[in-house]
Structure 1
Amino acid sequence: MAAITVHNSLRPGAQVPFVPKEEGKVSWYACGPTTYDLSHLGHARNYVSTDIIRRVLMHHFGFKVNFVMNYTDVDDKIIIKARRHRLLELEKQKTYTAEQVQGFVFKAFGAYAKSNLPLLDDDNLDENNYQERKEAAYGRVLAGGTISGEGRPSDPEAKVKMHLNNMDSAVQSLRKSAGFDGAEEVLLPYLDSLYKETIDTSDQSMFTDLTQAMEKAFSDDMAALNVLPPDAVTRVTEYVPQIVEFVDQIVRKGFAYEANGSVYFDIAAFEMAGNTYARLRPDSKNDNALQEEGEGSLSKGLEGKKRSGDFALWKKSKPGEPYWPSPWGAGRPGWHIECSVMASDKLGDQMDIHSGGIDLAFPHHDNELAQSEAYFHQRDKGEHTWVNYFLHMGHLSIAGSKMSKSLKNFQTIQDALATTYTARNMRIVFLMGRWNDGVEISPDMRKQADSWETTLDNFFTNVKAKLAEAGSPAAGIQNLSLTEASGNELLDELEQAKTSLDAALRNSFDTPTAMQVLLRLVRDANIYMHANTGPSDLRAVEAVARWVTKIVGILGLDASAAPPYSGLGWAAATTSSAVDPATAVVPFATVYANVKSEVEALQLTDPSLTALLASQDPASEFSALEAAGERNAEALTLPHIRATSRLRDELRALVVASGATLPPATKQALLSLSDRIRDYDLADLGVQLDDQAGRSSLVKFVPAARLVAAREEKAALTEAKARAKEEARRAKERAEEEKWAKAKVPPQDMFRADAKYAEWDEDGVPTRLADGVEVAKGQSKKLRKEWEKQKKLHEEWKGKFGGEASAV
């Protein structure tokens, strides 16, 4: 069997074989979120893609995966956000006049421009001239260009737009004299610059209140996206003593040094001992901008670094920052050290996989590697390997910029699921791209994902309907032998699909190819199902449906499914199929009882209909299923659905067979009842009936919302057609009225009321214009043609209405 190969950031270029350190087991650490704000689609891209690989390793390749993820609950972003919001709360409690508040907001407005929008840094800037100056300074960026005028817009341009949006809100607040409302984004950094050192950080509730709320929100988002929970979760604040000990060990080994209460990693000493720094991104090793970003915005002012590239393992806490005790004084962990300590605690001195977004490769992951390998370094034993495989997920971008909280160019997961996506649809979009490639979701990509989902959804619906029609709605015919179908062309295609899909997943988890394998097989099965209807043919189609069900379960496309994914089809994207029997059957039993009562009230004497009414007992069929332990909603409700459908089929057959013997009113009542049962009674419960010539209607379970939407669309289309027909009729009437109104005028009078002319001949055709000039010969011919046309029309009018025209 072919090996699994992966894209490993530690070995750029060709894919490398994936060989865990312990056979059959995989140890995996994933960088979790920094819990300071709601998660967005960029996070969904990272964690859903990670989840897909994890599921494939576990449920396709059979590995036992130990998956550890952290929550960063102390960080510069968390400190700044929590502190600023506390300061704003305190400021709102102060007693200010409206004029004082307005002045305070205006100062914050100017300070924000000076700090973030240098082209607007002007002492004369105010809410009245802001719009004009904004257009002059940043009009090119607002129009989609770049700050420099060259290249394509990216993060710097996105950041400018974010700052301008904040300024726009502040301007509206100033113009409305709205106080602090609407101006928060410019007020928060201004308050921080004035009062940050006055905050009492011995009470860390301001930070924990924020992080715990955001951790809960993230966890809820992941559950909504059907992302498997981690096997273990770690938090920085729960590891501070271990972090201090870890840092101290690195210092004792000579790979770090203390300076003014902070501890920095000594890159030069690390490399002199035979180790490699920046193994993931060697070309970024001297990128000062990335290094500074990795240190965090609160690290400015920390002193004592030997070299600019050295990074903080422990930071001296300044006033307004949380702190913990350490041998070097009150401080807090550096950003990178947390993952080294927590991952090593859970997975030891070496792990199989470490993952995160591609933007973490440098400096975060490179610094993690360096400090961890320094901690485990042993002289004369060479360079230590802390991580065997680094998997970096491609990021999601918008208009060329990375989707980012800091740029505020994001859609939250909560909002996306409420307005744009289902969890399944979002996952399909991500499956359409390689996990390690960047992606910008386009309308075409969304269209392809929608089409893929619809194709599989319809396939599952049709297969389940065919099996129900064959009499085995719940278990299908999965236990029947397929030997008599050996050599079946569809089963041959199924075996080839299994081989192709396995090869795709072994090829660094190539889900785009895997998705195409599934789509081709389903399309082939649809063609086969349409052309072949025998029992062995149905067995072959079911075999395909069950294998496809297993794969979509492995890929996480059915939130209600669980290993070994042996069911048939996926559950509706927003519902669960496991229900309380008594609850499930009520609406379906009600529909049947109502329909039966209405049919009986018609007092029809057809023997077939009378026998059917007497013989059907769906309540007993349901009771037998319930007693047998059935909990699948579709199976439990099928007895009443079938009974209702049979009555409808019998009514339709009666109308066809009766010819002219039924009274027109009765016939119309039967047809109306038949349509209502299909289009309303059952459709509102998520049941679609497909009429089949000479056979019982085919029962399909389809989300009710989809059937209702289709019904409303059909009604709207019918109404639009009727409206268009009526408008066309009225337009025709108006044209007819206008035609005969014009026809009433004798040709001798048609030009005499026109002030453009002064003289006419004996027929009333103009000969001279109002200014005395004779009518040109060409114009005269044209007027004569119009006169002849009017004469003919007038004669037609007289012939039709027998009227006489009055002189004009």
Structure 2
Amino acid sequence: MSARRPAWSQPDARPGLSIPPIFIYNSLTRSKTPFVPVDPSGKRVVWYCCGPTVYDAAHLGHARNYVANDVIRRILQDYFNYDVVFVQNVTDIIDRARQRYFFGEYRSQHLSIDDQVFKTSHEAVAYYIKETAGLPDGLDVRNFTELTLPFAFLYERSLLSDEEIILKNRLSVLSRATSMLDDMSRVVPTTDDDIENFYATLEPVLSEFLGSTLKETITEDMSHIFSDFAQYWELDFNGDLRRLNCLTPTITTRVSEFIPENISFVRGIMDNGFAYPIPGGTVYFDVEAFRSAGHCYPKLEPDNGNRADGNASSASESPASTESGPHATLPPGDDSDEILREKRLKKNQQDFALWKKSRAGEPSWDSPWGKGRPGWHIECSAMCSHVLGSKVDIHSGGIDLAFPHHDNELAQSEAYWSSRDEYGGQQWVNYFIHIGHLSISGSKMSKSLKNFISIRDALSNTGGWTARSFRIVCMFGGWKAGMELSAGAKQKAIIWETTVTNFFAHINALVAEGNVLASIIREPFREEERWLHDQLAKAQKSMYDALCDSFNTALALEILAELIKSTNTYLMEHKKTSATPNAYFSLNAVREVAKWVMRIVNVFGLAAPSDGEHFGWTVPNASSGEYPRSSADAAMPYVQVLSKFRDRLKMLAIANPDSAISADLLALSDSVRDEQLIPLGVSLEDRNTTIGEPALIKFADPEDLLSAREEKKRQVAEREVHKLAIKLEREAAERERIEKAKVAPTTMFRTDEFIEWDDDGIPLRSQDGAEITKSKRKTLRKAWERQKLMHEAWLSQNDA
């Protein structure tokens, strides 16, 4: 039986407050609820987003989360005109820094492979085997292959659980390591490449082993190990977000910079009677005391009300598969007895740590309860409350954070604020936005499952993705549901992007042409223009409704595509029906459509705001994040001069077809268009030369133009082949007709099929002596008459 969902208080709509009718899917209610900001004026929105744990390169699963947040943020502030204060944390207390540090030190001290390295590597493999759950006792390098046979199913089944995938990955690490050690026992690596390959293969097992066995050697003077490591990966993460065209947070909070606030927050919860310390210095949240005071726990996932896995409250205990918030996990090692002792001292197995006693080799700070560090959940509560206060509009993060992370955040924050006047008894967060997983081959993309694609690799020249194409895929997938990274989803995004790109190129060309010919352009307003303006108004209304409906970006993209289709239809129809150059459509009307489309793609973060009237995509500089001015604007005057010269040359050649050089001039004109300008990113689209229409100038990616040119050549070649096939077929049919016409009707039926004929040669009896029936004779007579006409026509032609 499902647990009852807790009551949720709809924020006061405040009579007279004018706000957009936005409905947001709220994880607190599991339904779409009206969005009402806490701000009395209804203008300011405060938002806290769970940020990264910076210990390695970010992947597309992270990108999915932060791009979705960015799109919603942009919609709120750039479409609905809210003043959004966007706070994002960085978890920079990383145990994995210890592993990386000691491995790097070991690697630099052992530049060659000797007996000591061989011995340490065997010890590291044995340690890794011991700490890998599910592996049999006694497994070592010598019997690894034999004793892992029961796990062969991991390599035979196509669908595995997350736990099975993790086990499979760890077995793969061990398999590579044991194979390397086996090879090393026969041939010791000596070349630089072989030594590098050895360390790359053994790194997973060596880093875990060294991080555990050497942790006692870390002193307070070595705290830079953790800060340097975190700073490096934070800068790396920020660079990835710039590449993805994500806005920077209004405020960034780092856990290491909020230690006093964390301690004060824990003390406040204890003062309110909702937390207790245990011997050794760990402080636990008291779930039963919280419930007894009338509070609800857990709010987001009430079905998990009896689970005890909310205890993943420190960097060394948090689940490794939770990619978007928790710290990287480490095996418990020699501290496992202490962990079990602490768990036995808890009042309730659901209680979770607010402050953790630091063990050997972990970062630590002084506190009233002893040296320790913040628990996993308390970090966000303390930082968010310190920056945004007791009332938060939106809290967002990956769906895997709903329980236990966000549920524990809610509980400890409401426990802290419950005695304070400014809280007023309302919920701490009004709206929870949880972003669905990005999956690949049916599994959530994550570091622990080893099925990830880094953002940097994906956006590289060989990665097959651009920031725009990935954002479009995310927008088509929506933000709430899980999304499969499939070839079909990517192709859909490419088709949409190409549609918009071609539309912008066409409008840019028309606008540039209009600026030159402004003195002779007339702007008609007929029923056709009224229809186009109505299509724009309809799209604007539909867009508003879609974005009010929990930010329905998939529908929003379809609305843009449909408007572009309508505009293209308008342009094509009036180009066909008009005989007057430059007056067959309203440039103002199509320009208004393009301006609005450009505004919306800017809102979505698909393009940068541009000056003037240039429509299209621009790409930010990877390091500065700035958007360059389009080179098309600078090149246009020169291309226009060349295009006019070419148009005049072509018209002269067409007007004088008998001239000896006309054919050469036309060939030269086509060469300029197809061979000279296309590699430079310039397309000249010839129009009706007989009425003096100039070529339409478009700027585009040279590769796209070259591909289009080759495709056009292919289509022309196919048409020529098809024409030749039809010609040959017709010639064959004509030869067959002539041969048939040569036969006289009196002899056409004199075959072995019949034995008796009348004077005209029409059969009377068949081969078996049977008389030909009247109906068949009638059919044969008709065929005889047709042949007679054909034969007479042939005789007439040949006599002539």
TM-score (norm 2): 0.75
Aligned to 1:214: 233
Deviations 1:125-184 (A, max 9, x none): 43xx655655x3333222334xxxxxx523123212321332243145324424534211
Q: Is the Cα contact below 8 Å between 2:64 and 2:474 reproduced in 1?
A: yes
SS of equivalent residue, structure 1 residue 44: helix
Instruction: Map 1:242-257 onto structure 2 (within 5 A).
Output: 242-257=261-276
Aligned to 2:578: none
Displacement of 1:634 in angstroms is 2.5
Q: 2:402, 2:139 → 1: CA distance?
A: 41
Of 245, 266, 284, the match for 1:226? 245
SS of equivalent residue, structure 2 residue 283: strand
Displacement of 1:720 in angstroms is 12
Displacement of 1:572 in angstroms is 4.2
**One-letter code aligned to 1:502:** Y
Q: Is the Cα contact below 8 Å between 1:40 and 1:413 reproduced in 2?
A: yes
Match status 1:92 vs 2:133: no
Aligned to 1:502: 544
SS of equivalent residue, structure 2 residue 694: strand
Q: Is the Cα contact below 8 Å between 1:357 and 1:393 reproduced in 2?
A: yes
Displacement of 1:447 in angstroms is 1.2
Displacement of 1:539 in angstroms is 2.5
SS of equivalent residue, structure 1 residue 183: helix
SS of equivalent residue, structure 2 residue 245: coil
Instruction: Map 1:284-683 onto structure 2 (within 5 A).
Output: 284-289=304-309, 291-292=311-312, 295-296=317-318, 297=329, 301-302=338-339, 303=342, 304-378=345-419, 383-418=425-460, 419-471=463-515, 488-533=530-575, 534=583, 537-558=586-607, 560-561=608-609, 567-573=613-619, 633-663=631-661, 667-668=663-664, 670-671=665-666, 673-683=668-678
Displacement of 1:372 in angstroms is 0.9
Closer, same or farther in 2 for the Cα pair 1:515/1:199, shift >3 Å? Answer: same
Q: Is the Cα contact below 8 Å between 2:141 and 2:178 reproduced in 1?
A: no
**One-letter code aligned to 1:496:** K
**One-letter code aligned to 2:609:** A
Deviations 1:298-357 (A, max 9, x none): 685341322211111111111111111111111111111111111111111111111111
Closer, same or farther in 2 for the Cα pair 1:445/1:414, shift >3 Å? Answer: same
Q: How much identity, in percent, do the aligned residues show?
A: 42
Closer, same or farther in 2 for the Cα pair 1:687/1:575, shift >3 Å? Answer: farther
Q: Is the Cα contact below 8 Å between 1:28 and 1:351 reproduced in 2?
A: yes
Q: 1:719, 1:575 → 2: CA distance?
A: 41
Displacement of 1:532 in angstroms is 1.6
Match status 1:36 vs 2:55: yes
Q: 2:699, 2:271 → 1: CA distance?
A: 67
Displacement of 1:711 in angstroms is 4.8
Displacement of 1:215 in angstroms is 0.8
Q: Is the Cα contact below 8 Å between 1:117 and 1:163 reproduced in 2?
A: no
Q: Is the Cα contact below 8 Å between 2:165 and 2:449 reproduced in 1?
A: yes
Deviations 1:657-714 (A, max 9, x none): 3434325xx844x455434422343223211111223122110111123224445677
Q: 1:481, 1:53 → 2: CA distance?
A: 38
Q: Is the Cα contact below 8 Å between 1:546 and 1:566 reproduced in 2?
A: no
Displacement of 1:289 in angstroms is 4.2
Q: Is the Cα contact below 8 Å between 1:42 and 1:396 reproduced in 2?
A: yes
Closer, same or farther in 2 for the Cα pair 1:131/1:720, shift >3 Å? Answer: farther
Instruction: Map 1:52-63 onto structure 2 (within 5 A).
Output: 52-63=71-82
**One-letter code aligned to 1:437:** A
Q: Structure 1 stretches of 5 or more lacking a match?
A: 146-151, 585-630, 724-808
Displacement of 1:401 in angstroms is 2.0
Displacement of 1:192 in angstroms is 2.7
Displacement of 1:433 in angstroms is 1.6
**One-letter code aligned to 2:132:** N
SS of equivalent residue, structure 1 residue 432: helix
Aligned to 1:272: 292
Q: 1:367, 1:683 → 2: CA distance?
A: 59
Q: Is the Cα contact below 8 Å between 1:354 and 1:391 reproduced in 2?
A: yes
SS of equivalent residue, structure 1 residue 692: coil
Aligned to 1:113: 129
Bigger mean CA deviation after superposition, 383-392 or 674-683? 674-683
**One-letter code aligned to 1:532:** H
Q: Is the Cα contact below 8 Å between 1:484 and 1:536 reproduced in 2?
A: no
Displacement of 1:61 in angstroms is 1.1
Of 98, 117, 132, the match for 1:83? 98
Closer, same or farther in 2 for the Cα pair 1:552/1:473, shift >3 Å? Answer: farther
Aligned to 1:5: 23
Greater relative contact order structure (CA < 8 Å, 6+ sep):
2
**One-letter code aligned to 1:256:** A
Q: Is the Cα contact below 8 Å between 1:274 and 1:382 reproduced in 2?
A: no
Q: Is the Cα contact below 8 Å between 2:300 and 2:403 reproduced in 1?
A: yes
SS of equivalent residue, structure 1 residue 556: coil
Q: Is the Cα contact below 8 Å between 1:423 and 1:573 reproduced in 2?
A: no
Q: 2:529, 2:717 → 1: CA distance?
A: 52
Displacement of 1:459 in angstroms is 1.0
Of 145, 150, 153, the match for 1:140? 153
Closer, same or farther in 2 for the Cα pair 1:119/1:337, shift >3 Å? Answer: closer
SS of equivalent residue, structure 2 residue 152: helix
Q: 1:435, 1:658 → 2: CA distance?
A: 62
Closer, same or farther in 2 for the Cα pair 1:87/1:440, shift >3 Å? Answer: same
Q: 1:482, 1:339 → 2: CA distance?
A: 59
Q: 1:540, 1:242 → 2: CA distance?
A: 57
Q: 1:636, 1:204 → 2: CA distance?
A: 53
**One-letter code aligned to 1:278:** P
Q: Is the Cα contact below 8 Å between 1:153 and 1:400 reproduced in 2?
A: no
Q: 1:221, 1:572 → 2: CA distance?
A: 18
Displacement of 1:26 in angstroms is 0.6
Deviations 1:32-51 (A, max 9, x none): 10111111111111111111
Q: What is the Cα-based RMSD across aligned positions, in Å?
A: 3.2
Closer, same or farther in 2 for the Cα pair 1:285/1:197, shift >3 Å? Answer: farther
Aligned to 1:706: 704
How many residue pairs match? The answer is 649
Of 34, 42, 45, the match for 1:17? 34
Q: Is the Cα contact below 8 Å between 2:125 and 2:140 reproduced in 1?
A: no
Aligned to 1:740: none
Displacement of 1:531 in angstroms is 0.4
Closer, same or farther in 2 for the Cα pair 1:271/1:712, shift >3 Å? Answer: same
Bigger mean CA deviation after superposition, 383-392 or 89-98? 89-98
**One-letter code aligned to 2:538:** Q
Deviations 1:470-524 (A, max 9, x none): 22699x99xx988767971121111111111111111111111111111111111
Displacement of 1:388 in angstroms is 0.8
Displacement of 1:465 in angstroms is 1.2
Bigger mean CA deviation after superposition, 364-373 or 172-181? 172-181
Closer, same or farther in 2 for the Cα pair 1:716/1:161, shift >3 Å? Answer: farther
**One-letter code aligned to 2:366:** P
Q: 2:559, 2:113 → 1: CA distance?
A: 69
Displacement of 1:290 in angstroms is 5.6
Q: Is the Cα contact below 8 Å between 2:510 and 2:696 reproduced in 1?
A: yes
Displacement of 1:393 in angstroms is 0.8
Q: 1:503, 1:574 → 2: CA distance?
A: 31
